[in-house]
């Protein structure tokens, strides 16, 4: 394990992709610094001997203190209307702390744009620009649509044996498991010299929500129907669940981009090249999360 000069930090280490990155880095012989906001959660979801520093992403000074002596930083924090400003804090703190290389998990090319209709997309674009202009080495990661998004359908699957989302049943979608999101990040941040200056799109092979539902049927042993609902129906369902307006808007923006093919192009090859194995498939995802849907 390396110390000091070549230290790697994972910011957002308790998140789904972040913890996968930490796990893979440890498997690669690294002992990354896990930057988290909640030390108790870190104890639960990271290994007992994980190296942890506590910092809020809203607090630049605490981030800079946490990142002192860190060489490379992997950034994967949660999305919210302020996530752009939050990640700018991380980039500036990393630079001030003396880091040399940043890897950022961004959004898909269709949503991480300057004029995105969701603040999450505009935030990703702004942070990408800041990273590209930072003078540091960088790699931008563009994973596909997270399979985990379907966890929000768990109650409907359990109670009504259906999935209802605003995506056409046969629309090709590039799903990715957050374990692959984090694992790719781990390899990229560890082997920075191979990936510097690259923007990497990656996902599993193209699938559809209808096929995802068939995986649920096979694994759960009962038929799970997929229903492609209209944007209006989806909006009403999200409102009924009490989601905040920005998140409802965000999800509808994603659905509209997807309907226009914005998430249809699959990129499984980078996962094969970087991880030396096949991407995790939706069937595997359902098997591994069966308890949440049963």
Ligand X SMILES: NC(=O)c1ccc[n+]([C@@H]2O[C@H](COP(=O)([O-])OP(=O)(O)OC[C@H]3O[C@@H](n4cnc5c(N)ncnc54)[C@H](OP(=O)(O)O)[C@@H]3O)[C@@H](O)[C@H]2O)c1
Residues in contact with ligand X by the rule CB under 6 A: 12, 14-18, 37-38, 41, 56-58, 76-79, 105, 107, 120, 143, 145-146, 149, 178
Q: Are strands 225-228 and 162-165 parallel, antiparallel or unpaired?
A: parallel
Query: Judged by CB, which is closer to ligand X: 77, or 218?
Result: 77
131 and 167 Cβ atoms separated by less than 8 Å: no
Q: Do residues 13 and 37 make contact, with C-beta atoms less than 8 angstroms apart?
A: no
Minimum distance, C-beta of residue 133 to ligand X, in the bound complex (Å): 20
Q: Which is nearer to ligand X, 14 or 139 (CB)?
A: 14
**8 A C-beta contact, residue 103 and residue 73:** yes
The DSSP secondary structure of 223-240, one letter per residue, reads --EEEE--HHHHHHHHHH
In 3D space, the residue among 254, 292, 12, 281 whose CA is nearest the CA of residue 152 turns out to be: 292
Q: Shortest gap between Cβ of 88 and ligand X (angstroms)?
A: 13
Nearer to ligand X, 54 or 218 (CB): 54
Nearest residue to ligand X on Cβ basis: 15
Question: Shortest Cβ distance from residue 14 to ligand X (Å)?
Answer: 3
Kindly state the smallest distance separating residue 75's Cβ from ligand X, in Å: 9
Could you identify the residue written with the tokens 């209307």?
81
Query: Considering the complex, what minimum distance in angstroms separates the CB of residue 223 from ligand X?
Result: 26
Which residue, 111 or 219, is less far from ligand X as judged by CB?
Answer: 111
Rounded (to 5) percent helix, strand, coil in the chain: 50, 15, 35
Closer residue to ligand X in complex, CB, 74/221: 74
């Amino acid at each position: 394990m390396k110390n000091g000069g070549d230290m790697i930090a994972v910011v957002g280490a308790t998140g789904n992709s972040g913890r996968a990155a930490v796990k893979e880095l440890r498997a690669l012989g690294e002992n990354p610094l896990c930057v988290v906001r909640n030390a108790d959660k870190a104890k639960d979801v990271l290994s007992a001997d994980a190296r942890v520093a506590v910092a809020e992403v809203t607090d630049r000074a605490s981030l800079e203190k946490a990142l002192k002596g860190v060489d490379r930083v992997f950034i994967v924090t949660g999305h919210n209307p302020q996530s752009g400003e939050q990640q700018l804090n991380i980039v500036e703190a990393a630079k001030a702390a003396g880091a040399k290389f940043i890897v950022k998990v961004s959004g898909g090319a269709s949503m991480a744009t300057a004029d995105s209709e969701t603040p999450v997309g505009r935030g990703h674009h702004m942070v990408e620009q800041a990273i590209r202009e930072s003078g540091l080495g960088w790699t931008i990661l563009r994973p596909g649509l997270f399979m985990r998004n379907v966890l929000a359908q768990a109650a409907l699957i359990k109670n009504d044996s259906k999935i209802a989302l605003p995506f056409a049943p046969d629309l090709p979608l590039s799903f990715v498991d957050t374990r692959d999101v984090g694992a790719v990040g781990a390899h990229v941040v560890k082997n920075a010299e191979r990936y510097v200056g690259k923007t990497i799109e990656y996902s599993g092979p193209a699938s559809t929500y209808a096929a995802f539902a068939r995986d649920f049927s096979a694994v759960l042993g009962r038929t799970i129907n997929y229903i492609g609902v209209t944007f209006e129906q989806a909006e009403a369902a999200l409102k009924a669940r009490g989601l905040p307006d920005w998140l409802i808007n965000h999800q509808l923006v994603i659905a509209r981009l997807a309907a226009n093919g914005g998430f249809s192009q699959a990129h499984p090859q980078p996962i094969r090249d970087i991880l030396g194995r096949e991407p995790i498939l939706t069937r595997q995802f359902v098997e591994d999360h069966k308890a949440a849907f049963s």
